[in-house]
């Protein structure tokens, strides 16, 4: 991910203006539907991710989600819920869930910014996107093993966290 630390000396104070700068610097397709809503797309190793940013002025918080390009069939939801619980135990920032509306797995986090004189920092927002992308890429195979491979949550998580050593 391109960092803006040295390239943008005077960053705007609205969090979504900063997000827009990050998205533009990385040349990700995006749409800014309003001052308080931005949607971007990010190509990953496993799939395309849709990033949603919503600023809530009344609570001074930035809501962020990163949705997979996948849908969970009704028949696999119970096992996916078990998988998200197992994954969420391992996360420090944010959490995974499955949207009740459309059955898409997604990573979510809300960043409270009330009382901060400078608002969100560039580094905070870059770290938020980086953490979400890293975790989505890390756990995407587990979701696929449950959805399409018919594996249990435990089997899928074990397979997804398996790390190889060396090269063949």
At 1-44, the pLDDT tens digits run 655 544 445 544 788 998 999 999 999 999 998 999 999 999 99
Identify the structural domains of the chain with CATH numbers, from first to last. Answer: 15-161 (3.30.1460.10)
Q: Is the pLDDT of residue 116 over 80?
A: no
How much is the pTM?
0.83
Per-residue pLDDT at 113: 82
- 33: Cβ–Cβ under 8 A, 6 or more apart, which residues? 39
Per-residue pLDDT at 114: 78
CA–centroid distance for 166 within its chain = 29
Q: How many CB atoms lie within 10 A of CB 157?
A: 23
Q: Is the pLDDT of residue 74 over 80?
A: yes
Per-residue pLDDT at 122: 84
Please state, in angstroms and rounded to a whole number, the distance separating the CA atoms of residues 18 and 39.
13
Please state, in angstroms and rounded to a whole number, the distance separating the CA atoms of residues 108 and 98.
10
Higher pLDDT, 113 or 55: 55
Q: Is the pLDDT of residue 123 over 90?
A: no
Cβ atoms 82, 153 nearer than 8 A: yes
Share of the chain above pLDDT 90, in %: 61
Of 78, 90, 103, which Cα lies nearest the Cα of 160? 90
Angle (deg, nearest 10), helices 153-161 and 122-147: 130
Q: Is the pLDDT of residue 99 over 80?
A: yes
Cβ atoms 143, 83 nearer than 8 A: yes
Per-residue pLDDT at 109: 95
CA–centroid distance for 102 within its chain = 17
Residue 117's φ and ψ, nearest 5 degrees, are -65, -35
């Amino acid at each position: 991910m391109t960092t803006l630390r040295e390239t943008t000396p005077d960053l705007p104070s609205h969090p979504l203006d900063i997000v827009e700068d990050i998205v533009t610097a990385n040349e990700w397709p995006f749409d800014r539907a309003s001052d308080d809503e931005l949607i971007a797309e990010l190509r990953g190793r496993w799939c395309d991710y849709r990033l949603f940013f919503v600023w809530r002025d009344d609570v001074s918080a930035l809501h962020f989600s990163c949705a997979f390009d996948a849908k969970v069939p009704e028949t696999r939801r119970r096992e996916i819920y078990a998988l998200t619980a197992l994954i969420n135990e391992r996360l420090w920032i944010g959490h995974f869930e499955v949207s009740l509306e459309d059955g898409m797995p997604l990573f979510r986090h809300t960043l409270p910014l009330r009382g901060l004189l400078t608002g969100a920092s560039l580094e905070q927002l870059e770290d938020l996107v980086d953490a979400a992308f890293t975790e989505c890429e890390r756990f995407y195979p587990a979701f696929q093993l449950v959805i399409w491979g018919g594996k249990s949550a435990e089997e899928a998580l074990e397979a997804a966290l398996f790390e190889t050593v060396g090269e063949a």
